[in-house]
Structure 1
Amino acid sequence: MSLTLLVRSLKCSGWNQARISSYKLCLSKMSTQVESEPLPTIHEIRTRIVKLMGANVSYDPKNIHLAKRDNLLKYLPRSQDELPVRTMQDSFEAAIIPLSQDLDLRDKMVTVQGAVRLGRFMEIMDLFAVYIALKHLKLPNLPADLPTPYVIVTVLVDDVTFTSYKAKPDKDIRISGQTTFVGKTSMEISVWLEQLSDGAWEKITKAVFVMVARNSNNTASALVNKIEPGNEREKHILATGLERTNMRKKESSESLLVHPPSTFEQQMIHKVFLDTIDKSNPLLGRRILPPYHVWMEATRQNSVIHLHPEERNLHNKIFGGFLMRQALELAWLCGYMHSKQKPKLWHINDVSFKQPVEVGSLLRMTSEVVYTEKTFMQVCVNADVYHPPTKTTTETNSFHYTLESLEDVEKVIPRSYHEAMMYIDGKRRYDRAMRLITE
């Protein structure tokens, strides 16, 4: 497929000019890399991460805490100006998910319907984003035989939009990514997935990861290399990254935990309330469901997982990609049970990691359909760690998904004020997802 036809296809699929520019840059770099050497597999990428981190891949239950790495602290900068400026090309990497040959990996990726488990994609993309972040970092004074003094932590995954292409479980998938924006201690990493089909690379999804750099003992934040655009296209991509950063700050400042709902949102909730009042005797305050409606609480689905060492990362915490996979699959089941049809995942918004999850924890996940509109469902998943001895919980993660059924779904109705706020938040996220999907 020619570049002109590809760009035209991207526009028809709803990609805006900023995403297309970033994608074209990615393609040009991949072409150069493919010509010079074969792409590494995702297994080889993981091996590189282990080597860069100097980590021990075996688990010792007698020593679950990582050894102190005080000797590496001296190599971390006190100012960003001490670090060399990096470009997007410095961090670019592409790799292959070898589904055509790795049968064990294929078994892990395939669904019972013969599709690919999208939750597995999130695991792999999170791992790959860590590698891109490590590749961006450069310390001139670090001896070649020492591991990196950085610890990379995923704090946010945003704007994961899936195309209509259905990935096949028996064909290789190309994953690529690069650093697209940098703060003082944070890096925004953009990651793409594509699959070769009928001689053309079909895009599957793109995700934006926000990674934070920590010091070698994971006790404080660490400064990262600045990024400088190499051409006009990269300037545009950086500007888009800044826009996303500002948008996150704006949405955080307008959160329902900070400000009350807008006048329009209050009127919307009031109408929902009036629609559920028993008109025969409104003074009793009894609420009833209109036809083809369900109470929000009736859509709730739960899971409890005992977290074993198999799911840990190199820092002996539970791998963020594993948490994303579990949440996505619970959200999909929640949407399936509500709509009675297998839904399609269109968008993931604002996956936030609030607290690290320890090995051995009891992870509880609760999913609910918080907003519906015609065929679409907005599903929220909240995760917390339950402590049986004290009967207390610690909130760790929240996840938000936009799913679509083949037919119109039953509308959800909030019963309490808390659910009303979830309903409003769900509509905000649904509206945002629709803008990104259709723009």
Structure 2
Amino acid sequence: MHDTYTEITLPFASSPELLEQYTNAYGGLRTGMLMEHLDSLAGSIAYKHVLGPEVETLGKIQERGFYFVTASHIAFQRLDMLAPLLPVRDVRLSGQVIYTGSSSMEVAVKMEAMNTDQEPETVMLGRFSMVCRDARTQRARKINSLVISTPEERSLFNMGEAAKNRRRENLAQSLERVPPNKIEAADLHAYELKYGQEEADKEKLWMGDTRLEKTMLMFPQERNVHSKVFGGYLMRLAYELGFSNASLFTRSHVTFLSLDRISFARPVPIGCILRLTSQIIYSTPPEAGKGAVHVAVQAYVVDVSTGKEEMTNDFRFTWRRDDGKPASRRVVPRTYKEAMLWLEGKRALELGAKIRGRRDQNLA
């Protein structure tokens, strides 16, 4: 397992020129760009696992005979921001393979901020699921199994296996497949009665009215080794659109909490027109305290000749207000489909709160 460990350091503290490239409009770091690097790092680690730690370049995919894709459904289970990311400190990105199946693997990634004495503080944790394909047949290809050498590695392996099993369970319990449970149905009913009936409520927004979108042309400079648009670049575009929507909805600057999932349906070709759409699908009620919003961002490839669109990616993000105040505005579903999206957002926020709560308990 340790043979796949890889790290990259971004020396922001000692390189003003580098820091300038990553600085956002509020004086912090561009989180979307760092997430793009994590995606690239995970891909590199996947190839390193198959080719061996001594290989320094990938070469041509057809010559290698295989390639990796991000698993199609809920590929990136989640990525959580665990501490503030300050621009005056160096940032280390690292990761390694922690679990392998027959043709799939789990790659754990971490972002750390280095203190003045170069002691790391974990600020972000995430995990990618990768699948190996045969370059000729496009079918699943068997990969190397992991050699577990220490109790710590066994623990990581078990964590990766548990994540894979949870992903299967979540898929089976998806609201796209099964109806909401009794508690969820009751919560939705109570919310609709409390916030959905009053038409004159100025702080209420119908979910469909929160849509924000952008349309872009995909250039070859953003291609990956498969000559398709790099997934990390799409992640950054989705993050920035979602951030804008969350800020407009809360009327406040917001702090990133988590990337809750990504679904990859199909690759994005170079030269295509890409349409990104976002909408707020859940907001915490005013009585819940700190105002958080859950944002869905979908990417669509547009066929210019017919106008037909095909969805390529589905991203889910969570942000909350910087000032810690409750969200005064409320998003209300209008249709059954929107109601199911609202429940998905509620589930995501509850899971994120549990994860951050467990971490705070461990630190205490």
TM-score > 0.5, shorter chain as reference = yes
Over 3 Å counting, the alpha-carbon distance change for 1:182 and 1:388 in structure 2 is same
Which of 397, 401, 421 is matched with 2:313 structurally? 397
User: How far apart in 1 are the matches of 2:350 and 2:196?
Assistant: 27
Is 1:233–2:152 an aligned residue pair? yes
Letter in 1 for 2:183: F
The residue number in structure 1 matching 2:36 is: 123
Deviation of 1:159 (Å): 2.0
User: How far apart in 1 are the matches of 2:165 and 2:196?
Assistant: 41
Deviation of 1:201 (Å): 1.9
User: How far apart in 1 are the matches of 2:200 and 2:195?
Assistant: 6
Which of 113, 127, 152 is matched with 2:26 structurally? 113
User: How far apart in 2 are the matches of 1:212 and 1:436?
Assistant: 26
The residue number in structure 1 matching 2:348 is: 429
Which of 303, 308, 313 is matched with 2:219 structurally? 308
Map of 1:238-249 to 2, 5 A cutoff?
A: 238-249=157-168
The residue number in structure 2 matching 1:67 is: none
The residue number in structure 1 matching 2:100 is: 182
Deviation of 1:191 (Å): 1.1
The residue number in structure 1 matching 2:362 is: none
The residue number in structure 2 matching 1:264 is: 183
Deviation of 1:296 (Å): 1.5
User: How far apart in 2 are the matches of 1:289 and 1:318?
Assistant: 45
Which of 246, 254, 258 is matched with 1:335 structurally? 246
Structure 1 SS opposite 2:112: strand
User: How far apart in 2 are the matches of 1:305 and 1:108?
Assistant: 22
Contact 1:165 1:203 in 2 (8 A): no
User: How far apart in 2 are the matches of 1:188 and 1:258?
Assistant: 25
The residue number in structure 2 matching 1:14 is: none
Gap runs ≥5 in structure 2: 359-364
How many percent of aligned residue pairs carry the same amino acid? Answer: 27
User: How far apart in 1 are the matches of 2:270 and 2:239?
Assistant: 20
The residue number in structure 2 matching 1:63 is: none
Is 1:384–2:300 an aligned residue pair? yes
Contact 1:276 1:288 in 2 (8 A): no
Deviation of 1:102 (Å): 5.9
Structure 2 SS opposite 1:268: helix
Over 3 Å counting, the alpha-carbon distance change for 1:401 and 1:351 in structure 2 is same
User: How far apart in 2 are the matches of 1:379 and 1:276?
Assistant: 19
Contact 1:275 1:290 in 2 (8 A): no
Letter in 2 for 1:253: A
More off after superposition, 386-395 vs 334-343: 386-395
Map of 1:91-240 to 2, 5 A cutoff?
A: 91-100=4-13, 105-138=18-51, 148-155=64-71, 156-168=75-87, 171-199=89-117, 200-217=119-136, 219-240=138-159
Deviation of 1:103 (Å): 5.9
User: How far apart in 1 are the matches of 2:142 and 2:214?
Assistant: 38
Structure 2 SS opposite 1:397: strand
User: How far apart in 1 are the matches of 2:343 and 2:200?
Assistant: 19
Deviation of 1:163 (Å): 2.0
More off after superposition, 332-341 vs 157-166: 157-166
Deviation of 1:221 (Å): 2.0
Structure 2 SS opposite 1:202: strand
Contact 1:383 1:398 in 2 (8 A): yes
Deviation of 1:100 (Å): 4.9
Contact 1:367 1:382 in 2 (8 A): yes
Which of 174, 185, 190 is matched with 1:255 structurally? 174
Q: What's the C-alpha RMSD, in Å, of the aligned pairs? A: 2.2
Contact 1:173 1:194 in 2 (8 A): yes
More off after superposition, 337-346 vs 102-111: 102-111
The TM-score normalised by the length of structure 2 is 0.87
More off after superposition, 370-379 vs 130-139: 130-139
Over 3 Å counting, the alpha-carbon distance change for 1:102 and 1:158 in structure 2 is farther
Structure 2 SS opposite 1:157: coil
Contact 2:205 2:331 in 1 (8 A): yes
Contact 1:151 1:218 in 2 (8 A): no
Contact 2:132 2:143 in 1 (8 A): yes
Over 3 Å counting, the alpha-carbon distance change for 1:412 and 1:218 in structure 2 is farther
Deviation of 1:218 (Å): 7.1
Letter in 2 for 1:415: R
The residue number in structure 2 matching 1:351 is: 262
Contact 1:167 1:204 in 2 (8 A): no
Is 1:321–2:239 an aligned residue pair? no
Contact 1:94 1:177 in 2 (8 A): yes
The residue number in structure 2 matching 1:298 is: 209
Deviation of 1:274 (Å): 2.9
User: How far apart in 1 are the matches of 2:215 and 2:24?
Assistant: 22
Deviation of 1:277 (Å): 6.5
Letter in 2 for 1:403: W
Letter in 1 for 2:35: M
Structure 2 SS opposite 1:330: helix
Query: How many residues in Structure 1 have an aligned counterpart in Structure 2?
Result: 340
Structure 2 SS opposite 1:428: helix
User: How far apart in 2 are the matches of 1:95 and 1:428?
Assistant: 34
